[in-house]
Amino acid sequence: MEIIVCAKQVPDLTEVDIKINPDGKSINLESIPLDINELDNYALEEALLIKEKYSGKVAVVTVGSEIADEMLRICLAKGADEAVRITYKNELDGYLTAKLIAAVIKNKYKPDLILTGVQSSDYSSAQVGGMLAELLGIPHASIVTHAELKNNITEVHRELEGGLKEIVNIALPAVLTIQSGINEPRYASMIGIRRARDKEIKIVTPEDLGLSSDELKLKTWIENMSIPPKGEGAEIITGTVDESAAKLAGILKDKGALA
């Protein structure tokens, strides 16, 4: 069983003040910690669980600069067998990311499964998985909450809108985009981290993949970014239950929510 995990290093913006660069098109990432995209971490864990159950190999692929090597070493420390970085320092969109990863897979692998998170936490476009499957000419399923392998078929449980779920059978090879909650991602052990320091990270360039600059053009781009304006603060309702209920009803009526 050969599994590819597509992972992305993203900025952790949970406890920092976001500043937009003067160009108005990007976030200033100075002094902001970087980590593996949370949903990609679930995809990695699912790949490791499948490997432990059926044996095989897990390779993690990312697109980016040498800064992403730290993330790849954590993936190796957790149990991935290989790490590949497509070195690329220019602007990326979902299509270009998928094209670069598809080229690596076509050149170097014959995977049974390709797993990635549903979307990244920075752009949240949820494009790469579907585009990757289309470029490779294989089926895919999105928002996967459970996957069970049965010979050359995987039974997939998908999360739909309105709390509904769908169960489908997909022939391998296939691309699955993994939803949070499918598993509990493991931590990298200290022994694993020490061992990962000496493991090779395979570096490839677009030229190595036979891609010319004319083939590496964005399909989408950012025109402008801005910080959302701050609204009014929340109103705290105090008093007894009856008093609070009466005040809330009055507010809702004033706002037009109640007749």
A 10 A CB-CB count for 152 gives 10
Q: Which of the 8 DSSP states describes residue 213?
A: G
What pLDDT digit, counting tens, does each position of 186-226 carry?
999 999 999 999 999 999 999 999 999 889 999 888 889 88
Find the mean pLDDT for residues 232-247. Answer: 87
Percent of the chain's residues with pLDDT above 70? 100
Q: What pLDDT, on a 0 to 100 scale, did the predictor assign at position 163?
A: 85
What pLDDT digit, counting tens, does each position of 144-164 carry?
999 999 889 999 999 998 889
User: Which ranges of the chain would DSSP assign to H, the alpha helix?
Assistant: 38-54, 69-78, 94-108, 128-136, 190-196, 241-254
Pairing state between β 2-6 and 57-64: parallel
Q: What pLDDT, on a 0 to 100 scale, did the predictor assign at position 256?
A: 82
| Stated pTM of the model | 0.86
- Element at 157 (helix H, strand E): strand 153-159
Domain ranges of the chain: 2-215
Domain 2-215 part of CATH 3.10.450.750: no
Q: Are 51 and 74 in contact (CB under 8 A)?
A: no
Lowest-confidence pick of 5-9, 14-18, 145-149? 14-18
**Is residue 122 scored above 90 in pLDDT?**
no
Q: Say what the alpha-carbon torsion angle 73, 74, 75, 80 is, to the nearest 10 degrees.
A: 70
The C-alpha atoms of residue 255 and residue 226 are separated, in whole angstroms, by 28
